[in-house]
Amino acid sequence: MDDIDDVFVARLMTSELHTVTPDTLVEDAAAVLLDNDISSALVVDDGALVGILTTTDFVDIVAKSQPKAETTVERYMSPDPITAGAQDSVSAVAATMVEHGFHHVPVVDGDEPIGIITTSDFAAYVSSPEAPSP
């Protein structure tokens, strides 16, 4: 069994990414989340991560905008999200997530997104047979 401090982000992250661009309409971004049964999409401009849009952001969208408004993702995304590297310790990333109340942390190589780690990934890891015992 691995000590949690020895486990790297690359082992837990999801590398199948769903992305949108800053000028994607929020309705289209919502469809990406719903069609893929995911709770966040990375916002990418010319291959570089520029933001993240989560289901929580959609609560804000519904509360503040007309349902048919042609509003782009850029207005509601969280710009310049805190990120992790593939070789970062999962315990350090978990501490960051708890500190900030985040549920999603994009994983980058430079400024290019290569994965995402979510609270669901941590839950799956902790419930797996190879998870460290407390």
Specify the higher pLDDT residue, 33 or 60.
33
**pLDDT at res. 19:** 97
pLDDT tops 80 at residue 5: no
**pLDDT at res. 80:** 93
Of 18-22, 23-27, 122-126, the poorest mean pLDDT is in 122-126
Token pair 């969208």 in the structure block, residue = 61
**pLDDT at res. 1:** 46
Mean of pLDDT over the chain: 89
Average pLDDT over every residue of 17-45: 96
Asked if 93 and 99 touch (Cβ cutoff 8 Å), the reply is no
Asked if 40 and 53 touch (Cβ cutoff 8 Å), the reply is yes
pLDDT tops 60 at residue 46: yes
Residue 103 vs residues 55, 81, 118: alpha-carbon distances, Å: 10, 12, 5
Reported as a pLDDT band with limits 50, 70 and 90, residue 107 is very high
**What are the structure tokens assigned to 12, written together?**
């837990």
**What are the structure tokens assigned to 34, written together?**
């719903």
**pLDDT at res. 64:** 80
Cα–Cα distance, 63 to 77 (Å, whole number): 15
